[in-house]
Structure formats: C-alpha cells, structure tokens
Amino acid sequence: MSDKPSTDQAPVFALSGWSALRLEGTDAARFAQAQFMGDVDALAPGQWQWNGWLTPKGRVIALFALLRQDAQTLRLLLPDAEPAALATALSRYVFRSKLRIVPEPELAVSGRFGAPRHAAGAAFAGQDPASGLELDLGGDGGARTLLIGPEAAPQAPDLDSRWRGFDLAHGLPRLAADQAEQWTPQQLSLGRLRAYSVKKGCYPGQEIVARTHFLGQAKRGLARLEAGAPMPAGQVVASQAPDRPLGTIVSREGRQALAVLPLELDEDANLLAGDVPCHRMPLLDGLAR
C-alpha cells in the first residue's frame, strides 16, 4: 500500500503573493480583449487561460490567470502584481466603457499538491468564489490544485516554496516589481503557456509582439538554471569561457532560477550567476492552458 497522501489528505496551504482582481460589467470582456495580450474572446464561461498586460513597447507589466466567470464577469489571479495598483493603472483606459475594476482582498488563494476534485485543464470548477473556486495547475511535474475562497489556509513556507519552484520548473516566471516592464512575452517564452496571441486584434504592445513573431527576431528566451547556492533575481548570467555576459536572472526560488538567455546558447555551456556556478535544466511542459 502506498504511503503517498491522496488528494483529500494532501494539506491545503496559503500561497504567498497571489491576489484577485475582478472585471465586471457589460463591457468587461470587450475591455479585456482590447487591453490584454491573450485572446479573451476564445474563453467560454467556466474556462481560464494564462494572459497578461503589456506596455506600449511590448514589455510585460503583469502576468496572470484570467478566468471567465460569465458573460459579464472576468477575474484576474495575480501571482505577483499588486491588485490595487494594477486596477488604478487599468482604470485609466476605461473611458466610457461600462465596467468596474475591483480588487478582491477578501479572497484567499491557496494551493494543494494533489489532483483537483472537479476542475480539469482549462475548465475551472465552482460558480462563486464565496463558495470556492478550483483550478487545475498541474503539469508534467505532478498534480496541483489552486483554490480561491473566503477562508485563508495555514501558512506552510516549505510547501509555498515548493509551489514557486514548480512554477519555475514549468516556465512560469514569477515577476518581482523590479522585473516588471523589462521583458517581452517572447523573451519570457510565454508562447509555451499560450499566454499571448499574434492573431487577434490590437492591444498595447501588439505591434512589437507580432513583428517579433512574424519576422523571426526573437533571439532570447527563458532558460531554467540550477546551482549550489541561491541566485538572486536581476543577477547577470555570464559564460565562464570566454568570460562574457549572456543574460539576466528573472526569477528564482531556492537554488533554481529562470533566466533570459540567448536561444542559440550551447546546452553544455559553463555558466556563472554572479560568482555562483550554475547549469541548465530542461523546462517541464504541461502548464499551458
């Protein structure tokens, strides 16, 4: 008999840095389609996708999970961005659109390392966060469930760190404030998550994203690094031989990091993050929605 806990037995724990922001109104979906980099019109009620908001120069301001609750309600799950500040920034573009942008500090976001009871893939479960929503955030590294509801789960720093490490292993960059507005979707390899569209209509930064895609000008993307010591975000990654800068660490958790590096870099290249030797690891799949 296996000692591995079942989904029901796996502990639920608070996820640090996650928050919720609601868009509601008759123009909510139209506004999101015009502002965000993913194809919101492709979402049916009860589905979610990775999506984001860009600067006019095509740099990622925020990356988030976008849920379509119903015809007039969308919800952004923000793993890093501050919801009140993002709501204020988005509200500058509302003009005469009929919608409200509402931070939801009353909602708690928690996780569990186990298969969802009802959600699967891009279909989330639950009708109302007051009674609980459930998302499938599993990938090739195993099963995970994200939960949204009114009650906060216990803190569990080790499990929270493991969750963030799972994100990085699957190519989901966790963007600290100093890494926002620095990188294009292609530099963050967000095509792996199907987080942006080059086929839908205009949105801020769309011209840069489309030009890079259709002219094949993307020269850098995400690489997963592992080292014997922590590698801070923002640290320059260099080649040991010859000694030359190659890229930058975007996010890290423990001794694992994601860095923006040249796509043509030799897989066996000897690398340094500051003075810490590191090596490349393969990115895992299965987190795209």
| 131 vs 47: CA distance, rounded Å | 18
Report percent pLDDT > 90 for the chain: 85
CB 153 within 8 A of CB 108: yes
What band does 1 get if pLDDT is binned at 50, 70 and 90?
very low
The tokens for 48 are 């979610």
For residues 12 and 52, give the distance between their C-alpha atoms in angstroms, rounded to a whole number: 27
On the question of pLDDT at 6 being above 60, the answer is: no
Residues shown for the chain: 289
Check residue 4 and give its pLDDT: 43
Dist. CA 72–CA 221, nearest whole Å: 35
Full set of structural domains in the chain with CATH: 13-169 (3.30.1360.120), 219-280 (2.40.30.160)
pTM (2 d.p.): 0.93
Asked if residue 45 lies in contact with residue 69, where contact means CB atoms within 8 angstroms, the answer is yes
Phi-psi map region of 181: left, alpha, beta (phi>0 left; psi -120 to 50 alpha)? left
Q: Whole-angstrom Cα distance, residue 241 to residue 64?
A: 38
For residue 216, what pLDDT is reported?
Answer: 82
- Overall average pLDDT of the 39-46 stretch: 97
